[in-house]
Chain A
Amino acid sequence: MLEKAVVEATMQGLISHRTLLEPRRLADALRMLRDEGPLVPMAGCTDLYVALNFGTLRGTRFLDLSRLANLRSIDVRGVVLSVGALVTYTDIIGSPLIRRRVPMLCAAAREIGGVQIQNRGTLGGNVANASPAGDSLPVLAAAEAIVVLLSASGERRVPLTAFYTGYRTSVMRPDELVAALEIPKIRGRQWFRKVGTRAAQSISKVVMAAVAPNDGEPPRIACGSLAPTVVRLPRTEAALGHGAAISEAQRTLLDEIAPIDDLRSSAEYRRRVAVNLLARFWTDFERA
């Protein structure tokens, strides 16, 4: 009984001093970010509330984005597929448009959390959260996606590969929101593989996404959980593009990643899995 009382008091303590702003229109949200900040944006809360429950969530003022319906759309503008920041993994899995154009994004969405997380977690949240283990991020990097940032002073478009500046840091300003991800038309075969302790619910030990163009261009390869941010592997891509043996490309890959030991796995294990995944991708591609 005492223990329960303590838990309740703690939970109350976690929220009682916090303020939630709930704009109904995007313009209001952007104005609040400019005038009433610093605000922590929240959407699916699948990361944010984990931190809240653990008592590690910083910030006292929050901005609920969930009512901003215009950040929920999935549509094609010209040759570009635009996926709104509030689109959930369940939306991604169920979208014929995404399945046709970016099947590797559907593959990633299926392996994020379980169905409860897929129903709530958003693509914009995965990008803004800036975890090196975000499973959609290698897909977006290999797809050469653009992060569309909005603020009261206008729009900025940043390539995903230039978005992150370090571990959990990005070029996004405190007055900006991730509004959408724009994915150009992808030519060639797409490939995705997540290695974790199980398919559902586990944070990845290594995650890799790749595109193998069919027009003689070099492949595009990106991976997560192997460096402080999601990384493209330009030298590995060039080596494979020039016809290097897979063993040589694997040595190049090891120079381009910087995995660490953590509670999910060791750096050595991650290096081995990474070179194996590269070989798997390249064999799958050559066989096709």
Chain B
Amino acid sequence: MTLTVNHQRARVHAHPMKRLLDVLREDCGLTGTKEGCGEGECGACTVLMDGQPINSCLVPLAQARGARITTIEGLGGRHPLQRAFAEQGGAQCGICTPGMILAAVALGPRPSLDRMRVGLAGNLCRCTGYTAIYRSIRSASRGSTGSLTTNAREGRG
């Protein structure tokens, strides 16, 4: 079964009902995607599927066939949001961070506070109280085009 993970074609030999989360972690070796609740409540396992945030614990591999998947590894560690989350205290314990950043990527450039609140409502964070997360996204927005390939230097707030 073939899917595109972080711009690379991945051929996976696994049960078609295997969770995308497990395929990414076990078959693709991409352990940046975390499992939290396993019931679609916490958003820790959020990845982008064809650009849309989804909970990878609730997606069978069969439905990811042919899709473009972006995981936290796909941002390369240099995305303005990654830099901003590190600099602005948007990441504390870290379990929600990969999913939170991917959900934030899907908000596009310069989201309003209301848009951030709605767009991140499916990502639970129990450390930051969200204020630092909103601050991080605003900080990343200031120099960012919101593109996945934006140069990291533009993210300095």
A interface residue numbers (CB < 8 A to B): 8, 11, 15-16, 18, 20, 22, 42, 44-46, 49-50, 52-54, 62, 64, 66, 90, 113-117, 119-120, 198-201
Residues of B contacting A42 in the complex (Cβ-Cβ under 8 angstroms): 60
Residues of A contacting B22 in the complex (Cβ-Cβ under 8 angstroms): 8, 11
Within 8 A of A (CB), among B114-129: 118-124
Are A50 and B40 in contact, with the CB atoms below 8 A?
yes
Give B121 Cβ to nearest chain A Cβ, in Å: 3
| Chain B: interface size category | 20 to 34
**Which of B43, B57, B119, B122 touches A53 (beta carbons < 8 Å)?**
B57
Query: Known contacts A15-B15, A115-B106; is A45 also within 8 Å of B62 by CB?
Result: no
Residues of A contacting B93 in the complex (Cβ-Cβ under 8 angstroms): none
Are B121 and A114 in contact, with the CB atoms below 8 A?
yes
Residues of B contacting A45 in the complex (Cβ-Cβ under 8 angstroms): 58-60, 63
Within 8 A of A (CB), among B8-45: 15-19, 22, 26, 38-41, 43
Are B122 and A116 in contact, with the CB atoms below 8 A?
yes
Residues of B contacting A199 in the complex (Cβ-Cβ under 8 angstroms): 121
Within 8 A of A (CB), among B89-131: 103, 106, 118-124
Give A219 Cβ to nearest chain B Cβ, in Å: 30
Query: Known contacts A15-B17, A22-B16, A49-B57; is A119 also within 8 Å of B39 by CB?
Result: no
Are A200 and B121 in contact, with the CB atoms below 8 A?
yes
Residues of B contacting A115 in the complex (Cβ-Cβ under 8 angstroms): 53, 103, 106, 118-119, 121-122
Q: Which residue of B lies closest to A203 (CB)?
A: B41
Give A68 Cβ to nearest chain B Cβ, in Å: 12
Query: Known contacts A20-B16, A116-B43; is A50 also within 8 Å of B58 by CB?
Result: yes
Cβ of B137 < 8 Å from any Cβ of A? no
